[in-house]
Each structure stands twice: as structure tokens, then as C-alpha cells.
């Protein structure tokens, strides 16, 4: 079935004229039309623009052009600005905002010849772990419609899991690519901080946010990262590095690979089903020639409290721009400028965004900055040092991506701390600026389980190799929810 094919297979089919880009785009657009009312994975779909881009790709293919992603459909998380198409960030504040420019990631993937079908639903301003905070309503997990898909990139994850699109972009501030990838049974990569430009990616926490690819397999993610990565002078945090081919090591054998197992990731709090799936995945790696050793990340337990000081602090600053003056929502009635600010922000932001703005403003306020924000930055340095020490003993780290499989709607929404703890294994990676990857490794209670692979800075090619060799030996990444197969 063509809608379940890998990006490499789709590229071959297009190159051999077995299918056209227009036919491919139409196939996925029809699936979106059929299934999106159930899943709510897309906020905006533009059939006309998608088909126009597909016709352009067909013309290039007809002229003999070749490229790994030319003519293949794609969806963007609705946090990336797209010229001429609304960019909402899942918020009432930007419900009707049409960006006047493209994000760097959008530019790069368009230049690679990919065909954008639409924009995917997400937690409001990327703040959430369940996709329940979106102004446009929650996204449903294709594996069980009563459960969350994870967040904040839940729309992208659900769309790929249901094969409404073969690949999508996501962003990861504390696990927002890896956690939904785990809960929906796909592959998601958060690159090293600075490898993918943040230009045109609406900011949540600027020192943590990172865009990355989401797809069925590690090979697909490698192809996407080849197009997404690259220096951008418009982003002061973008790293000026020589271009890499992230597919170059995919077939490398795993003989001699040293896998570190952080003892802090395997303690209490992990569901038995998740533990069993992860242990079986590690056994498979040992069969493939890898060696596992225990390591320690002694300060990892401080990652959640440190993150929930730093991220809200940066968010409170970044979200100050939404004042009703220049763009976005504006209150209909107000007495004066201050009243307009207050009413606009009260109406435009949801409860979780307001909560984080208040926390962030508090920790940055006079008298509390040293006690909270500065202390959290010091803890962040300790966490990064722990990882650096661990990587002296091993090539990659592995453990669960999430402590449980997908939870039910409403199960954690009334308890913010319980919701925040669903990212307990992913947050430290963002604090350290490291690359992290989640791949499917089994099921617990009929729901997907994710295995997290963490590498040293700039080790994406090696991590993708480690994931790819596992996916050659297993078929978890090819499993589909029955209703959408």
C-alpha cells in the first residue's frame, strides 16, 4: 500500500513514474479529509496550494531532476511560520494570523521539493504533554481514540501514525517530539541544539526549543534532517557547521557499540509494560552485537524542577509580544491601552499558558531571580556535566522515552505536576542541548512504547544508525493502528 511506504520507496516510485506527485498528494489529502474529523490532527489543510506544489514537483521530475524528497507530501507543526497560510500555534491569540514569511525549516523542505499539505494541531504555544491545551480541541491517538497522542507535537504524531501524511515536522522543548512519537508508535528526533534553525519557529523557551523530523523510521528521519539542518544567519543560536549526510552511517554494524543504561531511568515510576518492552529492546541490541553497561546521571532527578523554572521564565518573556497591538487577537472592547493589553491576553491565552507566564514572571521578579532562575541555570550545568561524564563510558544512552503508554483524556489535566512528570525522561536532554531520538520498541496494553536513544552533541548520524539497525531487525515501526491501516 502506497500510503504506508517509506520516503525512500516513495521517491523511487516517483522517479520511476509509477506514481505522480499529484496522485500522491491527492491520496493523502483524501485520507486527511476522511480521517481528520475523527483525529483532529490538522488545523489547516490547503488542497489547492498542495496540488500546485505537486504539479511543480511533477514538472521537475519530468525534466529529469532527482532529489531524495522531491514530490513527497509533508505536514508542518503549526508552530512554523508559513507565508500565505495561517500559523496559529494552537492558540486563540493567533487563530487568524497569516505569516508574511516562511520559517527556515519550511524554506529548506520546500527547496528540497516536498509538498506541504497543511499544518498540524499542537498544544497551545507548545505548552503541554497531551495536546489537550490546543484552542482547536484535543488530538486523538490513532491507537485508541480515548487516549492522548502526547504533546506538544501531537498533531504531527497522530497524522503520521494514521498515515494521513508520510512525514511531518515537530519541535521539542522538553520532549515534545520524542514523547508523542513514543505514544503514537513512530520515530522522532530532537537534534543537537542549534543544528536546525529556529528562525520562523514561534518561540516558547528559546534556549531549549529545537525543530526536528518525525516519520515512521530512522531512515526517513535521516533523509528529512538532511534537508532541515543547516546554518541560518537570521538565527543567533544557529550553528555554523559543515553540511552532514545523516544517512552516511545507517548500515554500520553495531558490533562493539557501548550502550549506557542510566540507573536513574530504570527505577520506580515506570509502568511494568513499558519496562518489559524496553528490556526486550535492549536484549535485541545485545543480539545485534552491542554491549550494555550501567551508568549514572546523578542530577537527572532535578531536571523537571529546573526545567519548570527555566522554560516558564523564557516563555513569560517571549509571550510578552502578544499584546493586541501589532498582530493576533485583540479584545473587542477596552477603555485604554492597559485595559486592551489585559483583556487581550486574558481572552487570547488558555489556562496552561497563563499558568506558565505567571510562574515565569514570578521566578524572574526582583528578589526571586537568584533563588530560582539562577539556581536552575546552575543545576542545568550540572546535568550537562553528568551527560558528558557518562559519554566517556559509552557511545549512546538508552532508556524509556515515557514512564507509561498513552494515558486517557482528562487523566492528568487536573494535576499539572502529574502532567509535567510524563516528560521526566526527556527533559534533561533539552537542558543539556543534546540530541535525543525515540523509536517504537513494543506495546504495553495494546499501546505503543518508545525507546529513547541519547547521544553526545552532534552524534545524530550515529544515533540514526543505532535506530536503523534495530528497525531492520524488528517491525514495531511498521505496525499500524487497525482502523487506519
- How far from 138 is each of 79, 256, 447, CA to CA, in Å? 16, 44, 19
| Residue where the block lists cell 521578579 | 365
Question: What is d(CA 197, CA 200) in angstroms, rounded to the nearest whole number?
Answer: 8
Question: What is d(CA 273, CA 369) in angstroms, rounded to the nearest whole number?
Answer: 41
Instruction: Given the residues 134, 176, 217, 316, select the one marked as catalytic.
Output: 176
Instruction: Given the residues 77, 140, 343, 412, select the one marked as catalytic.
Output: 77
**Omega of the bond leading into 152 within 30 degrees of 0 (cis):** yes
Rg of the chain in Å (alpha carbons): 21
Contact 311, 174 (CB under 8 A): yes
Residue 438 falls in the annotated catalytic set: no
Residue 392 falls in the annotated catalytic set: no
- In sequence order, what are the residues at sequence separation of 6 or more whose Cβ sits closer than 8 angstroms to the Cβ of residue 42? 32, 36, 75, 118, 119, 120, 121, 155, 159, 164
Handedness of CA 15, 17, 20, 24 (dihedral sign): negative
Instruction: Given the residues 129, 130, 152, 238, select the one marked as catalytic.
Output: 152
- In sequence order, what are the residues at sequence separation of 6 or more whose Cβ sits closer than 8 angstroms to the Cβ of residue 23? none
Contact 471, 437 (CB under 8 A): no
Question: What is d(CA 246, CA 468) in angstroms, rounded to the nearest whole number?
Answer: 12
Residue 152 falls in the annotated catalytic set: yes
Name the residues annotated as catalytic: 77, 152, 176
Amino acid at each position: 500500500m502506497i500510503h504506508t511506504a517509506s520516503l525512500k520507496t516513495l521517491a523511487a516510485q516517483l522517479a520511476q513514474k509509477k506514481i505522480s506527485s499529484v496522485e500522491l498528494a491527492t491520496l493523502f489529502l483524501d485520507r486527511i479529509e476522511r480521517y481528520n474529523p475523527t483525529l483532529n490532527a490538522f488545523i489547516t489543510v490547503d488542497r489547492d496550494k498542495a496540488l500546485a506544489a505537486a504539479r511543480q514537483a511533477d514538472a521537475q521530475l519530468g525534466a529529469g531532476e532527482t532529489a531524495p524528497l522531491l514530490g513527497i507530501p509533508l505536514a508542518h507543526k503549526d508552530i512554523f511560520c508559513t507565508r500565505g497560510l495561517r500559523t496559529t500555534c494552537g492558540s486563540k491569540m493567533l487563530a487568524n494570523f497569516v505569516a508574511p514569511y516562511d520559517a527556515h525549516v519550511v524554506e529548506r523542505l520546500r527547496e528540497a521539493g516536498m509538498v506541504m499539505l497543511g499544518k498540524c494541531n499542537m498544544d497551545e504555544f507548545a505548552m503541554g504533554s497531551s495536546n489537550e491545551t490546543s484552542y482547536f480541541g484535543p488530538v486523538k491517538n490513532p491507537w485508541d481514540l480515548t487516549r492522548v497522542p502526547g504533546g506538544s507535537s501531537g498533531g504531527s504524531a497522530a497524522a503520521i501514525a494514521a498515515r494521513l501524511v508520510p512525514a511531518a515536522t515537530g519541535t521539542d522543548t522538553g520532549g515534545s517530539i520524542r514523547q508523542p512519537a513514543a505514544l503514537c508508535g513512530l520515530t522522532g528526533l530532537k537534534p543537537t541544539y542549534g543544528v536546525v534553525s529556529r528562525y520562523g519557529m514561534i518561540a516558547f523557551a528559546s534556549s531549549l526549543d529545537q525543530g526536528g523530523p518525525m516519520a515512521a523510521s530512522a531512515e526517513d528521519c535521516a533523509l528529512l534532517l538532511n534537508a532541515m539542518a543547516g546554518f541560518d544567519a537570521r538565527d543567533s543560536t544557529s550553528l555554523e557547521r559543515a553540511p552532514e549526510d545523516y544517512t552516511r552511517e545507517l548500515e554500520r554494524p553495531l558490533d562493539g557499540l557501548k550502550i549506557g543504561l542510566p540507573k536513574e531511568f530504570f527505577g520506580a515510576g515506570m509502568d511494568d509494560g513499558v519496562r518489559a518492552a524496553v528490556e526486550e529492546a535492549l536484549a535485541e541490541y545485545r543480539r545485534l552485537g552491542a554491549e550494555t553497561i550501567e551508568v549514572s546521571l546523578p542530577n537527572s532527578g532535578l531536571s523537571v524542577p529546573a526545567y519548570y523554572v527555566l522554560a516558564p521564565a523564557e516563555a513569560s518573556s517571549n509571550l510578552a509580544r502578544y499584546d493586541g497591538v501589532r498582530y493576533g487577537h485583540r479584545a473587542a472592547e477596552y477603555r485604554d491601552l492597559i485595559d486592551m493589553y489585559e483583556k487581550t491576553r486574558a481572552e487570547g491565552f488558555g489556562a496552561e499558558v497563563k499558568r506558565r507566564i505567571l510562574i515565569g514572571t514570578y521566578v524572574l521578579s526582583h528578589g526571586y531571580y537568584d533563588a530560582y532562575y539562577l539556581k536552575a541555570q546552575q543545576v542545568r550545568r550540572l546535568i550537562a556535566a553528568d551527560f558528558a561524564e557518562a559519554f566517556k563510558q559509552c557511545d549512546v544512552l538508552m532508556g524509556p522515552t515515557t514512564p507509561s503508554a498513552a494515558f486517557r483524556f482528562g487523566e492528568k489535566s487536573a494535576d499539572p505536576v502529574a502532567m509535567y512528570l510524563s516528560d521526566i525522561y526527556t527533559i534533561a536532554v533539552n537542558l543539556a542541548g543534546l540530541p535525543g531520538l525515540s523509536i517504537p520498541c513494543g506495546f504495553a496494553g495494546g499501546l505503543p512504547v518508545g525507546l529513547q536513544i541519547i547521544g553526545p552533541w552532534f552524534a545524530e548520524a550515529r544515533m540514526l544508525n543505532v535506530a536503523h539497525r534495530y528497525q531492520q531487525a524488528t517491525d514495531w515501526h511498521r505496525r499500524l493502528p487497525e482502523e487506519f491501516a
